Amino acid sequence: MPGAGVHRGAPLLLRCLITGTLCYAFTFTEEPAERAPKSDGYCSRILRAQGTKREGYQEFRLRVEGDPENYQPSSTYRVTLIASHPAYFRGFTVIALKEGKDGDKDEDYAGNFQIIDEEDTQFMTNCPPAVTESTPRRRTRIQVFWTAPPSGSGCVILKASIVQKKIIYFQDEGSLTKRMCEKEPLFGEATDKPLLDCCACGTAKYRVTFYGNWSEKIHPKDYPRRANHWSALIGASHSRNYVLWEYGGYSSDGVKQVAELGSPVKTEEEIRQKGDDVLTVIKMKAQWPAWQPLNVRAAPSAEFSVDRARHLMSFLTMMGPSPDWNVGLSAEDLCTKECGWVQKVIQDLIPWDAGTDSGVSYESPNKATIPQEKIRPLTSLDHPQSPFYDPEGGAITPVARVVVERIARKGEQCNIVPDNVDDIVADIAPEEKEEDDTPETCIYSNWSPWSACSSATCEKGKRMRQRMLKAQLDLSVPCPHTQDFQPCMGPGCSDEDASTCMMSEWITWSPCSASCGVGMRSRERYVKQFPEDGSICTLPTEETETCTVNEECSPNSCLVTEWGEWDPCSATCGQGMKRRERMVKTVPSDGSACEAEMVKVEKCMMPECHTIPCLLTPWSDWSDCSVTCGKGARTRSRQFKSPLELGECAEDLEQVEKCMLPECPMDCVVSEWTEWSECNKSCGKGHMLRTRMVKMEPQFGGNPCPETVQRKKCKLRKCNNSKSGSWRSMQVSPLSFQLLCSVTPSFMKPWSTWTECTKLCGGGIQERLITAKKRFKSSQLSSCKERKEIRACNVHPC
């Protein structure tokens, strides 16, 4: 992925791989990424480089999260390079290549990497598709994200090289190579565009599951840590006459409320007002926070039905906080060209803008878009402040994934192409559990006995069993759920126990036949498996019951819709609450208030809650002191072994304590030099002084103090010499005459006292003067005039 980041110079590891030599030293050269020369075939030479190979050597392993054999196009995976204890590595290279390609061309590379930790990994300067170490150091694990290539790319080879001490390992097969092929499309997948007319027969029931992938790890820029969430999801199965939302269209008032406020109330009202164009209203609860591991919180889901007239499915949910950003499906067609029903749809979702608010970041202030704009997908070039901004214009990493899976069909089916075996099995036994795929690194207790059924009647309920996660030996390998649920009914309700006749689940009740007064409604199920002895199933396949909608039907009556489905219980175990709603269809003609009840709330009971004490790993060794001398700190840590939701852990995960090493040497510290003093002579040769102060004496073996006083010579005009032979004009040297002047009381006055020091500390100056008693005519004696002496004082530090 050229241009994906700032690249540093290629480490010596790659040069070793190219030349086949064994190296230990590592060097880096700082080069601007835009100037890095592109070497023809550089990456391919890396791939062809032969280091030390050891068959069956499993110290090092390249692992893709989940260990998938196939990749989903454009999906993102975590790739980990692991060294088993006690092994380690200092350098590495990871690259992804299309199978059968040599790496000579850009199109030979598959997908692209994303850096997780810049202190550990970086893109390679001369081979941008590859990632390598940021700094050569001892390590046992690195992680990067890899986004799979688009559909049609074929099989992919992920390869890694390892440098351990002076040995290079590069394996074409085995634990440092991972081969994955593109996931094959499922039989009967949805058509690319909605069909104008659906030719399928009967009805089908689906379960839609929403997986939010919007997290700080995958979308780190400006991620809103405190308030991130998905709003309540709202949608419907509907006919082609109704549009919930679509690209290029305008948001309705209901869609605007979801996009800006996260409220589905208005949208649900709009959906229910569409009457026969809507078969099922789809609803899921809001998700706070936006992302949690699946072993902590199960992905939300909802069930809905489709028929020949209402074979499209749409929904939306808001990313919160955001200006007006959402994800969803629009008019997803579940009818196939072969007149059957789609078995499964998997779709990665990117956010789209509802066109009602002009904010550019998650927490931009409200700014209405006037006039309203059309709905459009967000792009990575929308605005530099956008959390999805990429100056290279790359694709936005999906923030969610939705899975729509058929769980039942009803009535005579008329698809021209017979179902394949997998399709038949999916209908016969949708509740069958897959084989236990618990990783060996997850140590569990045995399953507890099944709890009592949550339903005491013949309505469908749930029962639960639990197990405890005792230890997670490899934190990079996720451990599956610790709770297991199974559908059930109250005692004596299941006639199926007495025979081998297997029935489907009941399909949702049909709408009441009357919009006002008493009517009828029905629901149906069908035989999934007949008894082996060929006998007839005697269990009922249809149920009917009376229903009452709007008992008073006069013009002044308030007409309401039927009650919606009960929301899921608010608790996953123990007692909770559930609610259902209905909407006002027609207000009284006399303008009076509608007194009908719009919301019903009831208690609901889930299996008994069981808390399991959390498990902690032993404390790690204390880290090194944070300093090399003096006072510092050191830490140690431990981790959770069991999921947090199974018990409240108040124990600390990290401890910090002080540490003391020998005192650090402290060198002598002095001030700057003062200005040079005046010359101490008025003629001839003299000297000048400058000083500096000692701010801090040396301690604990530090460097001693340098000199604090400096002297330099100064030379002024020559002193006058007399040519007379008399006493007054006798010739003496200037120095002798200075002595004469200073020792002859008749010529000079005594020296004055020293002046006060110019500074109290840090180095100052004192002066004193001597002057002649009277003026002399002799040129030499006339030099016996005022003299000045200077000396340093108070040189001690302040």
Residue 508 gets which letter from DSSP?
A: P
The answer to whether residues 332 and 361 touch, using CB atoms and an 8 Å cutoff, is no
Cα separation, 371 vs 115, in Å, equals 40
Strand partners, 157: 97, 179
321 preceded by cis ω (within 30°)?
yes
Q: What is the pLDDT of residues 682-697, one digit of tens each?
A: 788 888 888 888 888 8
Percent of the chain with pLDDT over 70: 75
End-to-end CA distance of the chain: 62
Specify the pLDDT at position 312: 94
Cα separation, 787 vs 785, in Å, equals 6
The answer to whether residues 634 and 654 touch, using CB atoms and an 8 Å cutoff, is no
Band of pLDDT at residue 185, cut at 50, 70 and 90: low
Handedness of CA 602, 607, 613, 614 (dihedral sign): negative
Higher local confidence (pLDDT), 739 or 767: 767
Quote the tokens at residue 58.
């499993």
Cα separation, 599 vs 315, in Å, equals 23
Specify the pLDDT at position 592: 80
Specify the pLDDT at position 23: 35
Cα separation, 328 vs 307, in Å, equals 21
Specify the pLDDT at position 172: 57
Cα separation, 688 vs 791, in Å, equals 9
Choice among 46-60, 94-108, 257-271 with the minimum mean pLDDT: 46-60
The answer to whether residues 469 and 443 touch, using CB atoms and an 8 Å cutoff, is yes
The answer to whether residues 678 and 790 touch, using CB atoms and an 8 Å cutoff, is yes
Specify the pLDDT at position 252: 95
In this prediction, residues 213-220 reach a mean pLDDT of 89
Provide the CA 156 distance to its chain's centre, in angstroms.
Answer: 26
Choice among 218-227, 425-434, 572-581, 775-784 with the minimum mean pLDDT: 425-434
In this prediction, residues 336-348 reach a mean pLDDT of 88
DSSP string across 234-296: EEEEE-TT--S--TTS---HHHHHHHHH---HHHHHHHHTTGGGEEEEEEE--BSSS---TTT
Cα separation, 163 vs 92, in Å, equals 6
491 preceded by cis ω (within 30°)?
no
Cα–Cα nearest to 332, from 438, 243, 450, 217: 243
Cα–Cα nearest to 165, from 64, 88, 279: 88
Alpha helices in 381-454 (DSSP H): 421-428
Specify the pLDDT at position 278: 92
Question: Is the pLDDT confidence value at 512 over 60?
Answer: yes
Quote the tokens at residue 476.
């990079």
Specify the pLDDT at position 270: 92
Phi–psi pair at 749, nearest 5 degrees: -80, 165
Cα–Cα nearest to 572, from 601, 603, 608: 608
Cα–Cα nearest to 316, from 361, 363, 257, 380: 257
Question: Is the pLDDT confidence value at 647 over 50?
Answer: no
Helix (H, G, I), strand (E, B) or coil at 270: helix
Specify the pLDDT at position 209: 93
SS3 content of the chain, % helix, strand, coil (to 5): 10, 30, 60
Q: What is the pLDDT of residues 569-608, one digit of tens each?
A: 888 777 888 988 888 877 787 778 888 888 999 888 776 6
Question: Is the pLDDT confidence value at 531 over 70?
Answer: no
The answer to whether residues 364 and 323 touch, using CB atoms and an 8 Å cutoff, is yes
Quote the tokens at residue 386.
């956008």
Average pLDDT over the chain, rounded to whole? 76
Specify the pLDDT at position 642: 55
Phi–psi pair at 412, nearest 5 degrees: -70, 130
Q: What is the pLDDT of residues 114-159, one digit of tens each?
A: 887 788 888 887 788 889 888 878 888 888 888 888 877 889 999 8
Q: What is the pLDDT of residues 297-324, one digit of tens each?
A: 788 999 999 999 999 999 999 999 999 9
Cα separation, 543 vs 526, in Å, equals 12
Specify the pLDDT at position 56: 41
Specify the pLDDT at position 456: 64
DSSP string across 61-109: EEEETT--SEE-TT-EEEEEEEE-TT--BSEEEEEEEETT--S-SGGGB
Question: Is the pLDDT confidence value at 19 over 60?
Answer: no
Band of pLDDT at residue 533, cut at 50, 70 and 90: low
Specify the pLDDT at position 11: 38
Specify the pLDDT at position 796: 77
Band of pLDDT at residue 775, cut at 50, 70 and 90: low
Percent of the chain with pLDDT over 90: 17
Burial of 225 (0-12, 13-18, 19+ CB in 10 A): exposed
Provide the CA 547 distance to its chain's centre, in angstroms.
Answer: 50
Question: Is the pLDDT confidence value at 441 over 90?
Answer: no
Specify the pLDDT at position 470: 73
Specify the pLDDT at position 562: 79
